[in-house]
Structure 1
């Protein structure tokens, strides 16, 4: 079997993109998906995304983590999905599609910047040492004064598999405020089971957490990820965050075919 694919990345969060409108991709083959995402024996990626038709939205994004399992919403993946659909000629400068957490829309600027509409957030759990919220995927947010010295893989895994989150686990984010009003973040992603250079739902969660904690009064917040810069824009009213946008680049890397 030959699989035609394109590779995309959004601030270093990279994805294998497959046009599966024909529904021929073996989407229940977990081991195959994991092998394609393997950086030594496959194409290499943080995840794999199928583009399929959808009767209601028109298009559907099916997302798999690099371990081969389907997952919850991926923000950077959604932005790359929009760019991929445009490159295929399926949309122009705007798109509507369905994903694991429901319907999404996005706009694609001439410079390649994609602004992706994210789910509303109304429940934010605040604890003495961390904050938890779901932005399409669950996120643990923790402040850090020594962001670059953290062993993300070790500390992230301890929290992800710890008693706080049970068998489902959570993504884990460490956040540091910068003097220019932006925030730097490092993320351990479940399903990848390691640090990624960027996590879109994590950046969204961090921005909202910093606002609700009073670390910033801005409603457009710059988030510095290891692979670049993202922005999160939202409307905050009565403890609810609506009109949430995840904004940043989504770039084509290469295309090819692989025999499986």
Structure 2
């Protein structure tokens, strides 16, 4: 006897958002329709040839106390640490869904975040940074995600993927890995940044936690005396403002555009 087994297929509604070229698949998961344990599905949806294509996938979920909850997955399908541009885009998505007006408080993997919307610009408050490690050739710090920051004399012809992957998997980072930021100083308050992101395992056009790390690293090493810094990424410009209280960086804000690209559905 021939037994046919039919898999249950689901039509999934999704939205595509981007923040300075850092793009995300957004799913309204307030009804818990998405299987968060299905890493293969996340990776497939993020695949640029066989899926929708994105640097990551973000679920917007209900929260018992705050406006919403953010669940973020890297393009490889694994749940990841904080994504700054993703948080900004999710705030814009929440506004689109009518969950918030112009302000939000939401929970992410690294804790609570405040956000403010001003037309297409979203300002996201990042977590305080308690430690900045200065090494001979680089700076390391965690801005919700770990970041290696190093200065370069030129970025235009730099092979970010090759060099970034070597640093990402090398000592002392190894299996856990790190994101890698290459920086060129343009002026006292302006820096050019290119970033290799772990989980994407390639260069992305922009990285929110990355430019935040760069801004703090440049201040900590004396490359700038400004506390409002412009970061030029491959996908556009972001701003980071902050305060320093003794050894702690606080009141850190990541500022930039966040826009809906399109809405669609996919059978999965």
Q: Give the TM-score category using the shorter length.
A: over 0.9
Runs of 4+ in 1 over 2 A off after TM superposition: none
Confirm or deny: 8 A CA contact 2:188 2:224 kept in the other structure: no
Q: Among 192, 216, 241, which residue is 1:184 paired with? A: 192
Alignment match, 1:239: 247
Q: TM-score, normalised by structure 1?
A: 0.98
For residues 145-204 of structure 1, give each alpha carbon's deviation from its aligned partner in whole angstroms, at most 9, with x where no partner exists. 021121111000000000211210000000000036300000000000000000000000
Which one of 71, 87, 106 corresponds to residue 80 of structure 2? 71
Aligned partners of 2:186, 2:154: CA distance in 1, in Å? Answer: 12
For residues 118-155 of structure 1, give each alpha carbon's deviation from its aligned partner in whole angstroms, at most 9, with x where no partner exists.
00001000001000000000000000002112111100
Q: Which residue of 1 aligns with 2:38?
A: 29
1:51-74 deviation per Cα after TM superposition (whole angstroms, max 9, x unaligned)? 000113231000000000000000
Q: Is the Cα–Cα contact under 8 Å of residues 188 and 226 in structure 2 kept in the other structure?
A: no
| Match among 58, 70, 91 for residue 100 of structure 2 | 91
1:178 counterpart SS class: strand
Whether 1:164 and 2:177 are equivalent positions in the alignment is: no
Larger radius of gyration: 2
Question: SS at 2:26's partner residue?
Answer: strand
In structure 2, the partner of 1:18 is 27
Query: In structure 2, what is the Cα distance between the partners aligned to 1:146 and 1:83?
Result: 34
Structure 1 residue 3 and structure 2 residue 6: aligned?
Answer: no
Partner SS for 1:160: helix
Give aligned pairs, total: 259
- Corresponding residue for residue 7 of structure 2: none
Please report the RMSD computed on the Cα atoms of aligned residues, expressed in angstroms. 0.8
Among 204, 213, 221, the residue aligned to 1:196? 204
Map Cα deviations across residues 211-236 of structure 1 (whole Å, 9 max, x no partner): 00000100000000110000000011
